[in-house]
Amino acid sequence: MRAYALLQLLSVSDLFLLPSAYEGLPSVILEAFACGLPVAATPVGDVPEIVVPGRTGWLIGHREDLAGTLELALPDAGGMARACIEIARRYSWTAFLDSILEVYREATEAHDSV
């Protein structure tokens, strides 16, 4: 799917659903967050590190709990956009590069003081 088509789809959505059995840190969750979409996802891999229940989304205990989670989630989804965008910014390329530059700054300062 083209990136533009994905953004169009996310922009008209209320919630992003990821009922995976296995994941690491799925970039698609960060993409949904960047669009201000809360996420309902299974708590696999690093998903619980970024999907914070009641703040950026909901963790689905089992894929079988999907319908019940969606009934609870949809009325609250609109109020979570700001928190989702904040999480996405923490994982952006800019934030990543800033953290690397900070490591180099600290190393340079430590070397200069020796």
Residues 5-10: contacts with CB within 8 Å, 24+ apart?
A: 6/31, 7/35, 10/35, 10/37
d(CA 47, CA 30): 10
The domain that holds 70 is classified in CATH as 3.40.50.2000
Encoded amino acid at 48, one letter: P
Looking at residue 3, its pLDDT comes to: 63
Looking at residue 80, its pLDDT comes to: 77
For the chain, how many structural domains are there in total? Answer: 1
How confident is the model over 51-89, as pLDDT tens digits?
999 889 989 876 666 777 777 777 667 777 778 788 888
How confident is the model over 4-49, as pLDDT tens digits?
677 777 777 788 888 888 888 898 999 888 888 899 999 999 999 9
- Print the domain residue range for 22: 3-112
